[in-house]
Amino acid sequence: MTALVPPTILVFDSGLGGLTVFRELIKVRPDARFIYVADDAVFPYGAIEEATLVTRVIAMMACLVEAHRPDLVVIACNTASTMALASLRARFSVPFVGTVPAIKPACGASLTKRISVLGTKATVANEYTQGLIREFAAGCHITLVGSARLAALAEVELSGGRVGDREIAAEIGPCFVNDDKPTDTVVLACTHYPLLLDRFIRLAPWPVNFIDPAAAIARRVIDLIGHARPSGPVPTRAIFTSGRLLTPALEATLRNFGLGEIAALDGLSHVAGA
């Protein structure tokens, strides 16, 4: 009997936020060979002009697709998805699953119809996000909150540093609006933010439903490539484009997420002007 070859899934983000998506993917496809790529040489993506970002992501993906021949690519970054997903799908034949603000399910779940979208400044200002609001948010009051710091704060925490409550509270505070009715739903429109979810819940001025799209992304992957098949252990790999030094805390975190081999540099830092 011919052994079934497990699929290769490439998970791409500007940094470590995509780990929140990866941990859901590995639950539903534990048999897959995962390549996790953090383009942290130019982190954060939210600070890059759109045309420059699209050019870089396409160039990065050309190298990665050629090197790893993935069966599917997950763009585990809201900023990259809202800006570059259409161009990636036009350029490559491999299927892409993106990560975009979960405005439709948020509107369906909200009782007060007061919803905040917490993302990078680039994501909340992007026309793609505005289009989702026009299409799905009829009857809802949407507050867009662009944070310049939360993704970096999440990276600090994940690398073993410590971020004070005051810093986090200041970033999420604008999400909480109480006019005639209070905000009851907050869309986490950056994959870094669920890394701080426990802190968000504790620091919120009142309870809200924080929506993390990672499980929905995993379901979409299953729709495209099917369910897991029996197999032995499959190696996973993490690649950083910056050649960053891995602290013991960060290396332990990556292994706790299920990543095995960790490469601090993979010859990609030169791509598109890094």
- The pLDDT tens digits of the residues spanning 195-208 come to 999 999 999 999 99
Active site residue 140: no
From the candidates 63, 107, 140, 190, give the one annotated as an active-site residue: 190
Q: Which of 192, 212, 232 is the last residue of a domain?
A: 212
Q: Which of 194, 212, 230 is the last residue of a domain?
A: 212
Alpha-carbon span 28 to 219, nearest angstrom: 8
From the candidates 77, 107, 140, 175, give the one annotated as an active-site residue: 77
Instruction: Provide the whole-model pTM.
Output: 0.90
The half-sphere exposure of 170 on its side-chain side, counting CA atoms within 13 A, is 9
Position 152 scores a pLDDT of: 92
Give every CB contact of residue 42 below 8 A, 6+ residues apart in sequence: 14, 48, 56, 241, 274
Which structure tokens are listed for 56? 């870089």
Position 266 scores a pLDDT of: 53
Q: What is the pLDDT of residues 134-169, one digit of tens each?
A: 999 999 999 999 998 999 999 898 888 889 999 999
In a domain, 227, yes or no: yes
Alpha-carbon span 59 to 79, nearest angstrom: 16
Average pLDDT, the chain: 89
If asked whether residues 109 and 39 sit together in one domain, one would say no
Q: What is the pLDDT of residues 223-252, one digit of tens each?
A: 999 887 776 667 677 777 776 667 787 788
If asked whether residues 128 and 198 sit together in one domain, one would say yes
User: CATH number of the domain that 113 lies in?
Assistant: 3.40.50.1860
User: Residue 54 is part of which domain span?
Assistant: 8-99+215-273
Give every CB contact of residue 69 below 8 A, 6+ residues apart in sequence: 8
